[in-house]
Structure 1
Amino acid sequence: MPELRPEPAFLPLTVASASTAARSLVDPPVRASALVVQRKAESANSAAADCWTALLAGCDTPGRRALPGKLKDLSEATSVYAGTDWWFGTGSNHRRKVAGAQARIEDAIRSGDGEQFAEAFIGYDQAVAAAVVRIQSRLGSPAL
């Protein structure tokens, strides 16, 4: 029987911070929004693993083409969780970091550069997770 290995984790900080936010003591709609971020992060992480495999193999697979859309979904879910006023106001620095890292990942996918892909993903994970943590801090709501 083949050994099953865990899927690579490309967004561990984001998944963890969104999971914590989804269990927080804030209003149910805010928790629901954080849960959407968590689900989008898990979906993007899975797509990233598929894309990584395709990059290593030098293939143009559906997984490689799906990742940019999954990242866009995660970035949009994060902006909804943050709220428009914060995301485009006080939190605009976070928004720019997320967008910049996302663009670097997309460039790496287009060029087939695995090293650039891995480095950009570290930046994207840090940027999204930092935004989620900052939003959580701003809401003043500890986790359960």
Structure 2
Amino acid sequence: MNLHPSVTTVYDPQHALFGRLVRLCFSFAGCYWILIYALQWLSLIDHDQLRDFRSGQTMIYFILLSLWGIEYLRETRRLKLLIRRSEELDVRVSKVELNDLSPKTGSFAILHPVGPGSSAIAWVFPVLNVTGLAVALYLIAQRYIVAISAL
């Protein structure tokens, strides 16, 4: 769907960066399984350690899948907002400008609030997304350090 340039300039960079960061976290979390199975194959860890390494992944995937799912839900709501507003204005969706969406511009915030004078509520999802990604990266790094130190 083509969006108006005023919406695209605000939304696309955040959406692309968030997508890259989530994919990067999933990649790091997925590569950890290679390390786990390599340690098991080389018989460098026992069964109890293997169970601990595997169980440490649960929280990481829970955080990442929650962030991805919430953002997917917000994406559908953004599309509904654009469609509803285009019907109200009786124009195509590509003609709906960011100013036409006011005061709902906060729904386009992914990693930082959108628009001047953003309210406190506009910070909720950006803070949630950034904090969730930071916690996931911390947990991933922690799991790698634990696995490597087991050598």
Q: Which structure is larger by alpha-carbon Rg, 1 or 2? A: 2
TM-score between both structures, scaled by the size of structure 1? 0.40
Higher relative contact order structure (alpha carbons within 8 Å, sequence separation ≥ 6): 2
TM-score normalised per structure 2: 0.38
